[in-house]
Amino acid sequence: MAEFKFKKTDLEDVYVIEPEVFGDQRGFFMETYNKEEFKKHGVNVDFVQDNHSKSKKGVLRGLHFQEKYPQGKLVRVIKGKVYDVAVDLRKSSKTFGKWFGIELSAENKKMFWVPGGFAHGFVTLEDDTEFVYKCDQFYHPEDEGGLIWNDPGLKIDWPIENPTLSEKDQDFPTLKKLNFFFK
């Protein structure tokens, strides 16, 4: 059984996870999830959906969340590189309204655990970046909400100035104008 290094972030309940990688002249092998190992570190979830996206350099997806069906996400990059961000939307949290960002890449093989109750997004830093994630709740398009990526109150230090956004992602409110928060 492989070991995982769980590193706490500045946000409550959010972790950067480094899997043990076994490599030789043939390539490498690593576990990307092990229920018992994750449970030991307080991440006790049942995943119900896996997602995979591919994006050109400079595409920003997010900052998304679901209101009634909050999704916990275990995210990683299998090709390319992203800057990944979580924003705490839990009113009762000591880190409410704070954000944390990390570079994830196929090379560093780091994973990021973002529990339900957070807005989540990422920007691709290389062409043809492939991003995969496990979710502990199904996607409900009618339940999706979001924050605007460049909220001046959050001051997220994105490593790109003019990302490519979907129409939906361009119209999200700032945290101050958001009319929904988690407990």
CB atoms within 10 A of CB 108: 14
The CA-atom distances, in angstroms, between 64 and each of 15, 38, 106, 111, 172 are 18, 24, 23, 18, 9
| Catalytic machinery residues | 64, 133
Q: How far apart are CA 30 and CA 65, in angstroms?
A: 29
Closest residue by Cα to residue 133 from 72, 78, 74: 74
69, two tokens: 């069906």
Give all strands of the β-sheet with 118-124 in edge-to-edge order.
99-105, 81-88, 118-124, 60-66, 144-146
